[in-house]
Amino acid sequence: MSEGLETTRPSRRIPGEEVVITHEDVDRAHDRVRVSAARAQHGFFSGARLLWLLIGPGVLVMLGENDGPSMLSYAATGAKFGVGFFIPFVILTFCMAIVVQEMTVRLGAATHRGHAELIFDRFGPFWGWFSMVDLGIGNFLTLITEFIAIRAGLGFFGVPPWAAVLIALVVLYSALMSHRYWTWERITLAGAALNLVFIPVALLAHPDWSSVGHSLVTWTPLPGLNKDTLLIVLADIGATVTPWMLFFQQSATVDKGLTVKDIRFGRIDTVLGATLASAAAVATILATAPLFAHRMSADNFEAAQFAQALEPLIGRVGASLFALGMVEAGIVASITISTSSAYAFGEVAHKPHSLNLPMKEGRSFYAVLSLCAAAAAAIVLIPGLPLVYVVLIVNVVAVLAMPPALVFLYMLVNDREIMGSLVSPLWANLLAGGVVLVLTAAGILFGISIIAPSFFAVLGGK
């Protein structure tokens, strides 16, 4: 069997039933022909071309997670604590994300099934629909926060809310027009690369590099142990690993047609994405650290307000880049998150679910994707909507959704019947299990801190 055909997902057909080659299969096979040609050659340039052909899901999921709320979390971290403990801590959270997301690469390549579809197959329809609905609600609420970030970021330039939302939707829908996963992925990657705009913003803030190096080595100065510090710690963890990432990368791995041979490149893709995303995250902390140095309050800042507060310190250019970075974060995340919802619905409902599908064949897939984005955008335009409260509710929902998603992932990647020789070895299980426990405990603590903040008074904080 050719490599192009082996990427077609195993069918549920009855033995003897006629095999139907779909438009989706043909497009994916064409992509695999290019991969096969690159793999057959030798040398640096052929290896670089192979890497270029195979990267995508890992970079997208990591930079996509650097969304509006995440970048606001990093901005608040720099403004509240400056340079210190949180710089190496944020890098550590991306290391945890690599461990978690690597499992989705192996699952997707080994099974050619999306995450929701595997849960449905292995644990039954109830848990399959539960995971899809759980993800869908969390994703929809998160989408609202992405459009809040877009609205606020473009508001810095005087763009009215309705126009800001319309611009975001036009970009999102334009990426779908090719009906081709490869084209969609490259367009979205180009947008995701703009997340690195926070790096020049950080340079314009003229950080004290000796202090940065000291914090990386010593993790100091340490912040005081109080409720505010705990909330920032948990918010920064939540800014790195969320349920939609698990569903998106595994489904994108399948849609891209990656095979067992490509797992090594999938890991490189994930590490590359985490490296770029962590660089942008740290840069955002450095960019807003001058607010801490000047003792400026940032308790209720949104995207435009951060940019306005930074303008006297880093200039109009730096503040404009910061605002544009928030817009990019919201747009790319709205694209990837809405796509993850559409993937999950198609997988559980057994409907066609691929970005390689023409509109007619993928009506339900594109309908879920489009309607989720449009509805979230419309909510943001409601007059008098308490935007800060909405973001708070979204964080709580994301915390409640994280533990079951992580548990399902851990169980699936250790299921020898579906993983075969790719099942996690003991050392990987210990590492992944530790990450799952830390993330789950962090999520529970974050939920407690929101529901019962007085609980943390015993820590000696204010």
The single residue listed with the structure tokens 């096979």 is 29
Q: Which of 427, 446, 403 is nearest to 246 (CA)?
A: 403
Q: Which residue has the higher pLDDT, 402 or 430?
A: 430
Residue 46 — pLDDT band, cuts 50, 70, 90? confident
pLDDT tens for 98-142 read: 988 999 999 999 998 888 889 988 888 898 888 888 888 888 888
Between helix 115-123 and helix 243-256 the angle, nearest 10°, is 100
**Domains of the chain as residue ranges with CATH:** 55-459 (1.20.1740.10)
Of the chain, the percentage scoring pLDDT greater than 90 comes to 26
The residue with greater pLDDT, 33 or 257, is 257
DSSP state of 83: S
Residue 240 has pLDDT above 80, yes or no: yes
Rounded mean pLDDT of 170-182? 84
Can you read off the two tokens belonging to residue 207?
């950080």
Q: CB under 8 Å to 425, separation ≥6 — which residues?
A: none
- Whether residue 221 is preceded by a cis peptide bond, meaning omega within 30 degrees of 0, is yes
Query: What is the predicted pLDDT for the residue at 450?
Result: 64
Tokens representing 53 are: 């052909």
Low-confidence winner among 69-73, 182-186, 283-287, 437-441 (lowest mean pLDDT): 437-441
Q: Is residue 313 pLDDT above 60, yes or no?
A: yes
pLDDT at position 281, please?
A: 95
Identity of the highest mean pLDDT range in 178-182, 220-224, 256-260? 256-260
Q: Does the pLDDT value for residue 274 go beyond 80?
A: yes
Q: What pLDDT score was predicted for residue 276? A: 95
The predicted pLDDT at position 404 comes to: 74
Pick the range with the lowest mean pLDDT from 28-32, 39-43, 49-53, 159-163: 28-32
Whether pLDDT at 237 is above 70: yes
User: Poorest-confidence range of 12-16, 161-165, 408-412?
Assistant: 12-16
Q: What is the pLDDT of residue 174?
A: 87
pLDDT tens-place string over residues 181-219: 888 888 899 889 999 999 999 999 999 899 999 999 999
Question: Is the pLDDT score of 14 beyond 70?
Answer: no
Q: Quick: pLDDT tens for 324-376.
A: 999 999 999 999 999 999 999 988 888 888 888 888 888 899 999 999 999 99
Name the residue with higher pLDDT: 458 or 6: 458
Q: Which residue has the tokens 């955002």?
A: 284
5 confidence band (pLDDT: 50, 70, 90): very low
Output the pTM of the full model: 0.85
Residue 266, CA distances (Å) to 14, 72, 105, 209, 421 in order:
32, 29, 6, 33, 17
Q: Could you give the percent of the chain with pLDDT greater than 70?
A: 81
Closest C-alpha among 376, 347, 414 to residue 129: 347
Average pLDDT of the chain, as a whole number = 82
Opening angle at CA 381, ends 310 and 197, nearest 5: 35
By mean pLDDT, which of 177-181, 207-211, 258-262 is the weakest? 177-181
Q: What confidence tens digit (pLDDT) does each residue in 364-419 have?
A: 999 999 999 999 999 888 877 766 556 656 665 666 667 777 788 888 998 888 88
